[in-house]
Amino acid sequence: MNSLDIILALYAVLGAAITVATCLSKSHKTQNTLSMILPVCYLALTLYILMATQLPAYGLGSDYFLIDHLSIYEILIAATLFLLAAVYSRQYVKDSIFIHEMDESNLRLYYAAFNMLLMAVVYVFLADNLALFWILAELTTAFSAILIVILNAPKNIGAALKYIFITSTCMLFAFIGLILIFTLTEDLIGVGTLNWSMLMSVAGGLSPGIMFAAFIFTFVGFAAKSGIVPFHAWLPTAYSKAPGPISAILSGTVTTIGVYGILRMYTIVAQTAAIGKIQILLIAFGVISMIIAALTMLREPNLKKLIGYSSIEHMGFVLVGLGIGTSVAMFWVVFYFLAHAFTKSSLFLSAGIIKHQYGSVRLEYIKNVFQLQSFAGWSLILGAFSIIGMPVSAIFLAKLGILAQSTLVSPVLTVVLLTVFLFAAAAFGVFMIKMLSRKEDSTADVPYFHVGWGMKIPIAILLAIVFVLGLFFPEQLTTLLNTIVSELGVT
């Protein structure tokens, strides 16, 4: 066993140990602290892999796991978000129990599922075998559903069921695609394989017709996981019903899993003759998702749903970036994962404060934001600024990069994308103005919800990262992203 194998096993051992410890411990503080320790350990281990080993490398034999820079990058994002969400949860969950939004008896389940979700997410990004990737992605659905349903509201159950049914239904189609690929390789090289690294090496000889069919099937599944239109119905509901920190990690990491899967599939089919059709398909689905999401956002009265729809819009944009398919576009797509994850999480965390202050995130209940929750008000403004891609935010850079590449496909595409951005920006602008300008004189009867540092710091950190990256792009990040793009074999 080399050190990689030990680390890979350590991920599981640590996750299991901390989950067991969570289930055994009685106080909320211990459980919360344990949930903070796990992402910290993961961060440390992952950074160690990045620094100390030669990547890409197989782990635990060559059949199931592959560690390359993309997986490291995604795990780092995920672990950071989970850490911040765990910090934020400390007060949020306490308060949720206090207002009977959540039962105290569910605490253990909450933290256990939280840890298990992190573990599943980490392994999803490490999976080399596509079937294993599929299984782990399904597991993340299961744990996410548990986390959504943790609140005592029938609507949450509805949202979780919708989530489970839509994503798993579509994921079954993805499995059909995987079986096709397996059969195809069995036909071609004698041994069936679903290993991404193996497929990458034989992809040139795969039949374009079957690969196209297989891609469509897998696309349906993974697109549903990312909430691409027409499989998006679950996303706004699930995100708006989930507790604040959970919405943040769902939008930041779990949604990305789908697009990550599409990216991996894309790199395989990019070597076959089917790529032309697939690029058109990706751009079409991306643009449709963006248009529908942006138009829905314009009339959305619910803050969290607004942010949810914005996720659909951004995932659509990522698809467009994939469809453009040049290495520069790919560079920005991979960067977009990070920028979007951090910005979106900060928005959901801020919305969590609003939710606990007003008991609802619908526009008509939110008033006097600056008197009551000036921090949340400002963080929402900054988050909205960043998410619509205003300059000096990280998303601005990524959007600019992809837009510049989109002219290579067609100038019309660029114009369409810009128009959609305008609509999305207008939606956020109108909503923010309406929400922040609502005033009522009788503030006395609206009780004040005290927001502790535990809830403010994660938001501040996320926003800081987003804006610092917008201003100053570190050399190491450029190298990392370039390595990822070259490992994906995109030229």
Applying CB under 8 A, the residues found at the interface with other proteins are 95, 98-101, 129, 131-132, 134-135, 138-139, 141-142, 145-146, 149, 151-154, 157-158, 160-161, 164-165, 168-169, 172-173, 175-176, 179-180, 182-184, 186-187, 192, 207, 209-210, 213, 359, 445, 447-450
Taking the complex as a whole, how short is the minimal distance between the CB of residue 116 and other proteins, in angstroms?
Answer: 11
What count of other Cβ atoms lies within 10 Å of the Cβ of residue 285? 22
Tell me the C-alpha distance between 322 and 374, whole Å: 39
Taking the complex as a whole, how short is the minimal distance between the CB of residue 121 and other proteins, in angstroms?
Answer: 15
Tell me the C-alpha distance between 346 and 188, whole Å: 47
Closer CB to other proteins, 88 or 396, in the complex: 88
Taking the complex as a whole, how short is the minimal distance between the CB of residue 153 and other proteins, in angstroms?
Answer: 5
DSSP collapsed to 3 states, the chain: CCHHHHHHHHHHHHHHHHHHHHHHCCCHHHHHHHHHHHHHHHHHHHHHHHHHCCCCEEECCCCCEEECHHHHHHHHHHHHHHHHHHHHHHHHHHHHHHCCCECHHHHHHHHHHHHHHHHHHHHHHHECEHHHHHHHHHHHHHHHHHHHCCECCHHHHHHHHHHHHHHHHHHHHHHHHHHHHHHHHHHHHCCCCCEHHHHHHHHHHCCHHHHHHHHHHHHHHHHHHHCCCCCCCHHHHHHHHCCHHHHHHHHHHHHHHHHHHHHHHHHHHCCCCCHHHHHHHHHHHHHHHHHHHHHHHHCCCEHHHHHHHHHHHHHHHHHHHHHHCCHHHHHHHHHHHHHHHHHHHHHHHHHHHHHHHHCCCEHHHCCCHHHHCHHHHHHHHHHHHHHCCCCCCHHHHHHHHHHHHHHHHCHHHHHHHHHHHHHHHHHHHHHHHHHHHCCCCCCCCCCCCCCCHHHHHHHHHHHHHHHHHHHCCCHHHHHHHHHHHHHCCCC
Closer CB to other proteins, 130 or 338, in the complex: 130
Tokens coding 246: 């959970």
Taking the complex as a whole, how short is the minimal distance between the CB of residue 169 and other proteins, in angstroms?
Answer: 6
178 close to 215: Cβ distance less than 8 angstroms: no
Closer CB to other proteins, 168 or 326, in the complex: 168
Tell me the C-alpha distance between 216 and 176, whole Å: 10
Closer CB to other proteins, 365 or 423, in the complex: 365
Closer CB to other proteins, 22 or 129, in the complex: 129
Closer CB to other proteins, 299 or 450, in the complex: 450
Taking the complex as a whole, how short is the minimal distance between the CB of residue 20 and other proteins, in angstroms?
Answer: 18
Taking the complex as a whole, how short is the minimal distance between the CB of residue 115 and other proteins, in angstroms?
Answer: 17
Close Cβ partners of 127 (under 8 Å, ≥ 6 residues apart): 64, 65, 66, 133, 136
Taking the complex as a whole, how short is the minimal distance between the CB of residue 478 and other proteins, in angstroms?
Answer: 38
Taking the complex as a whole, how short is the minimal distance between the CB of residue 151 and other proteins, in angstroms?
Answer: 8
Closer CB to other proteins, 48 or 165, in the complex: 165
Closer CB to other proteins, 132 or 382, in the complex: 132
Closer CB to other proteins, 366 or 485, in the complex: 366
User: With the C-alpha atoms ordered 119, 120, 124, 128, is the resulting torsion angle positive or negative?
Assistant: positive
Close Cβ partners of 202 (under 8 Å, ≥ 6 residues apart): 185, 188, 189
Taking the complex as a whole, how short is the minimal distance between the CB of residue 372 and other proteins, in angstroms?
Answer: 10
Closer CB to other proteins, 152 or 491, in the complex: 152
Taking the complex as a whole, how short is the minimal distance between the CB of residue 134 and other proteins, in angstroms?
Answer: 8
Tokens coding 361: 């995130």
Omega before residue 230 within 30° of 0, cis:
yes
Closer CB to other proteins, 441 or 445, in the complex: 445
Taking the complex as a whole, how short is the minimal distance between the CB of residue 148 and other proteins, in angstroms?
Answer: 10
Taking the complex as a whole, how short is the minimal distance between the CB of residue 79 and other proteins, in angstroms?
Answer: 24
Closer CB to other proteins, 164 or 397, in the complex: 164
Closer CB to other proteins, 126 or 402, in the complex: 126
Taking the complex as a whole, how short is the minimal distance between the CB of residue 233 and other proteins, in angstroms?
Answer: 10
